C-alpha cells in the first residue's frame, strides 16, 4: 500500500481543507474530517501552546466519538507547523503535535528539515509547502512524504508558477504525494488536478465562506460578492507574495494601487498573539489581521455561505460528475 493509500480509504474526496491563518478553527476542522476531507489548521491560530493542546485533544476526542458512532473512520486532522526561522514557538508547537500523536502534518514558510526527524520517528507523514522547483528539491532532500505546490492561484501566502507547468516539472523527479494548492473552485478542479498528476488538492477560499469558519460575517459576505479581478497580489502586508482582497484594502482606508512595501519577514511578530493585539490597536499596517482579508483565485466560485458538510456534499457531486465525463470520452 502506498503512503497515501492508508488515508485514501478514509477520504470521501482527495481534498484538504487548507490551513488558513485566523480562519481555520476546531469547528471547521472537525466538520471537514467528519465530512470525509482532511481538516487542517495552522498551530499559530492558537494563542498559546496550552490552547493548542486543548484544540488537539478536543478535535481528536470528537473525531474518535464520530468514528465510534458511525462505525466508519473519519478523515485525519492535520496541523500546519510554520517552520520559518523567526518562529520561536516552533519547538513547543512541535512538541504538542508529537504529544497528541498526529498522523499527518504540513510544514510551511521554510525548510521542513528542522522538524523532520522527530516527526518521522513518530511515524507522521509530512507534507511541505513549496513555491518553486528549488523549494521542492530541498524538501525532497529533507525526506518529506509529500509536496504541496503553491501555485499562482493560492490565497494568502502564494506562489507564482502556473499549475500545469509546476506539477509536470515536479513529476519529472518526484513520485511521492503531490498536492495542488491554488484555484480549487469546485469538484471539476479537483478531478483536473488528479488528471494532471496530483494525489490531493487544497481548497481554502470556499472553506472560509462556511458557517463553521472563524472568519467574520463581513469577510464571508465579501467573498460572495467578489470576483477574480478583486484579488490583488502584494507584499505589503506580510513581506511575502500574498493574494489579498482589494475591497477589504479599500474599506480599511488604504489605496490598493499605492501600498507601502513591508520590510523583512518576521513570522514571530505575525503569529504572536500579544503582538497582533498591539498592532490591531495601532496604525493601518496592523489592519491586515482585523480588516484586510485574503482570497485565492477561486473566489469567483464562492456563491453562498454553506455549512462545511454542504460544501463537501456539493463538491463531491461535482467531482463525481467530472470523473464520469472523463470516462465517457
Regarding whether 64 and 40 lie in a shared domain, the answer is yes
Give the pairing of strands 156-157 and 146-150.
unpaired
Answer whether 0.85 is exceeded by the pTM: yes
Judge whether 126 and 112 are in contact, CB under 8 Å.
yes
CA atoms within 13 Å, Cβ hemisphere of 64: 6
Asked whether the beta carbons of 198 and 180 are under 8 A apart, the reply is yes
In angstroms, rounded to a whole number, what is the distance separating the alpha carbons of residues 57 and 94? 15
Q: For residues 62 and 283, which has the higher predicted lDDT (pLDDT)?
A: 62
User: 162 and 262: one domain?
Assistant: no
Cell of 13: 474526496
Same domain? 230 vs 107: no
Q: What is the pLDDT of residue 288?
A: 56
Give the chain's length: 329
* Cβ 224 vs Cβ 205: under 8 Å: no
CATH of the domain at 205: 3.20.20.70
Contact in structure between 56 and 97 (CB atoms under 8 Å):
yes
Q: Is 294 helix (H, G, I), strand (E, B) or coil?
A: strand
Domain extent, residue 32, equals 5-213+304-328
pLDDT tens per residue across span 97-136: 999 999 999 999 999 999 999 999 999 999 999 999 999 9
**Same domain? 97 vs 10:** yes
* Same domain? 143 vs 35: yes
Residue-by-residue DSSP string for 78-128 = EEEEE--TT-TTHHHHHHHHHHTT-SEEEEESS-SHHHHHHHHHTT-EEEE
- Identify which has the larger pLDDT, 239 or 221: 221
59 plus 168 within the same structural domain: yes
Q: Provide the pLDDT for residue 329.
A: 55
What the block records as the C-alpha cell of 249 is 484594502
What is the tally of structural domains in the chain? 2
Q: 112 and 29 share a domain?
A: yes
HEC string for 50-76: HHHHHHHHHHHHHHHHHHHHHCCCCCC
Contacts of 167 (CB under 8 A, 6+ apart): 149, 178, 180, 193, 196, 197, 198
Same domain (yes/no): 139, 267: no
Per-residue pLDDT, 7: 79
- Residue 315 to residue 320: CA distance in whole angstroms: 9
- pLDDT, one tens digit per residue, over 151-192 is 999 998 899 999 999 999 999 999 999 999 999 999 999 999
- Do residue 225 and residue 323 come from a single domain? no
Question: Are residues 130 and 266 located together in one domain of the fold?
Answer: no
Amino acid at each position: 500500500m502506498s503512503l497515501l493509500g492508508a488515508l485514501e480509504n478514509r477520504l470521501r474526496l482527495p481534498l484538504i481543507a487548507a490551513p488558513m491563518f485566523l480562519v481555520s478553527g476546531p469547528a471547521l476542522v472537525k466538520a471537514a474530517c467528519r465530512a470525509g476531507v482532511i481538516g487542517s489548521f495552522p498551530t499559530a491560530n492558537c494563542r498559546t501552546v496550552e490552547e493548542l493542546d486543548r484544540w488537539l485533544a478536543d478535535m481528536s476526542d470528537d473525531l474518535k466519538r464520530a468514528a465510534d458512532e458511525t462505525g466508519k473512520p473519519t478523515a485525519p486532522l492535520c496541523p500546519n507547523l510554520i517552520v520559518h526561522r523567526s518562529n520561536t514557538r516552533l519547538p513547543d508547537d512541535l512538541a504538542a503535535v508529537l504529544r497528541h500523536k498526529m498522523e499527518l502534518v504540513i510544514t510551511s514558510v521554510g525548510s521542513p528539515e528542522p522538524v523532520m526527524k522527530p516527526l518521522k520517528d513518530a511515524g507522521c507523514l509530512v507534507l511541505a509547502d513549496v513555491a518553486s522547483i528549488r523549494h521542492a528539491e530541498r524538501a525532497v532532500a529533507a525526506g518529506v512524504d509529500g509536496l504541496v505546490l503553491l501555485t499562482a492561484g493560492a490565497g494568502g501566502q502564494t506562489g507564482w508558477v502556473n499549475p500545469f507547468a509546476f506539477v509536470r516539472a515536479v513529476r519529472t523527479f518526484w513520485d511521492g504525494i503531490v498536492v495542488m494548492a491554488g484555484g480549487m473552485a469546485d469538484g471539476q478542479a479537483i478531478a483536473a488536478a488528479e488528471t494532471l498528476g496530483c494525489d490531493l488538492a487544497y481548497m481554502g477560499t470556499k472553506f472560509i465562506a462556511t458557517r463553521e469558519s472563524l472568519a467574520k460575517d463581513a469577510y464571508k459576505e465579501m467573498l460572495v460578492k467578489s470576483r477574480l479581478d478583486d484579488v490583488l497580489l502584494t507584499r505589503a502586508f506580510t513581506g511575502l507574495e500574498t493574494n489579498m482582497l482589494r475591497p477589504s484594502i479599500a474599506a480599511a482606508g488604504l489605496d490598493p494601487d499605492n501600498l507601502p512595501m513591508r520590510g523583512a519577514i518576521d513570522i514571530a511578530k505575525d503569529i504572536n498573539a500579544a503582538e497582533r493585539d498591539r498592532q490591531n490597536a495601532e496604525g493601518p499596517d496592523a489592519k491586515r489581521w482585523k480588516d484586510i482579508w485574503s482570497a485565492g483565485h477561486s473566489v469567483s466560485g464562492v456563491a453562498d455561505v454553506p455549512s462545511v458538510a454542504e460544501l463537501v456534499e456539493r463538491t463531491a457531486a461535482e467531482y463525481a460528475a467530472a470523473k464520469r465525463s472523463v470516462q465517457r470520452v
